Amino acid sequence: MYLASILDLIGKGHVVTIDIFPQPNRPSHDRITYVTASSVSVHAVQTILNMRKPDDVILVILDSDHSKEHVSKELLLYKSIVTTGSYIIVEDTSINGNPVSPDWGPGPMEAVEEFLAKNNNFIIDESKHKFFISFNPKGFLKKIK
């Protein structure tokens, strides 16, 4: 609802939220579309592709299954949807000892590191890490080409 309200203020934009479990009593707003699906499903990706318009600026926030395998799949699927100059924001890169939850196992941070090693269209936007504490260290991936 917060993001939809911000979009109201600027007079454009839409939020697509993807979740495998529909939440009860979720807010209704003209700028929000709910998709019940896995974020790595064909249905989820096709929904976004069908909704986007040529001049849209697309930002993606990944915050579902925090396993490295799942986040890696999301990064591969959504990298071409994000528009140049915009971002993929990977939430909770702090887990698995980065610096919290050291026993988590490979997660979002490891997926980001592997993704960036193979993909030069994105960089970590260090300007988004100006605060000492973050749940998303190295998680702001800016598409540069």
Please report the pLDDT score of residue 73 as a whole number.
98
Per-residue model confidence (pLDDT) at position 98? 80
CB 72 within 8 A of CB 55: no
What is the per-residue pLDDT for 4?
A: 94
pTM: 0.90
Contact between 32 and 15 under an 8 Å Cβ cutoff? The reply is yes
Task: Give the pLDDT of residue 96.
Answer: 85
Q: Are strands 32-36 and 60-62 parallel, antiparallel or unpaired?
A: unpaired
CA distance 22 to 27: 12
Residue with tokens 């096709």: 46
User: pLDDT at position 95, please?
Assistant: 85
List, as one string, the DSSP characters of 11-70. Answer: T---EEEEESSPPTT----TTEEEEES-TTSHHHHHHHHHH--TT----EEE-S--SHHH
Instruction: Read off the amino acid at residue 33.
Output: T
Residues ≥6 apart with Cβ < 8 Å to 26? 34
The pLDDT of residue 129: 78
In the prediction, which pLDDT does 106 show? 94
3-class secondary structure, 19: strand
Cα–Cα dist 18/36, whole Å: 6
pLDDT of residue 28: 93
CA geometry: angle 27, 32, 38, nearest 5 deg: 95
- Please give the pLDDT value at position 130: 75
Angle between helices 108-118 and 68-78 (to 10 degrees): 40
Over the chain (145 residues), the average pLDDT of each successive run of 10 is: 94 94 91 95 95 93 95 97 96 85 90 97 90 84 97
Q: How far apart are CA 8 and CA 83, in angstroms?
A: 21
